[in-house]
């Protein structure tokens, strides 16, 4: 799945919402994710589970739902936390 997203990012920007199992904050971030998807129809938005993205279990409670922008195979923003405003600011 991740490799396909990297390939897709060369055609159009990809916004990733990184989730975790049992993450309460992820539930509340769903509406933010939907609003970003609706506001910017030119991007490809996708949810990806933490296990596919972060390797270390140590980070389980460190990372809240994070929005990452992937363009041409590179991340433009990798800050922690809910960085919705930064994603919006890039458009």
- pLDDT tens, 42-55? 777 777 666 555 55
Comparing 81 with 45, the larger pLDDT belongs to 45
User: DSSP 3-state assignment of 74?
Assistant: strand
End-to-end CA distance of the chain: 25
Q: Is the pTM of this model over 0.95?
A: no
Least confident stretch, 33-37, 48-52, 78-82? 78-82
For 27, the domain range is 2-89
Give pLDDT, residue 10.
92
Please tell me the total count of domains within the chain: 1
* 67 Cβ contact list (under 8 Å, min separation 6): 15, 16, 17, 18, 32, 33, 36, 82, 83, 84, 86, 87
pLDDT in the model for residue 61:
44
CATH of the domain at 11: 3.40.30.10
């Amino acid at each position: 799945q991740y490799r396909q997203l990297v390939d897709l990012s060369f055609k159009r920007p990809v916004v990733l919402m990184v989730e975790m199992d049992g993450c309460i904050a992820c539930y509340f971030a769903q509406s933010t994710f939907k609003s970003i998807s609706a506001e910017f129809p030119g991007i490809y938005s996708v949810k990806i589970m933490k296990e596919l993205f972060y390797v270390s279990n140590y980070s389980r409670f460190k990372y809240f739902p994070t929005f990452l922008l992937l363009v041409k195979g590179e991340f433009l923003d990798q800050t922690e936390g809910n960085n919705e405003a930064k994603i919006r600011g890039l458009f």
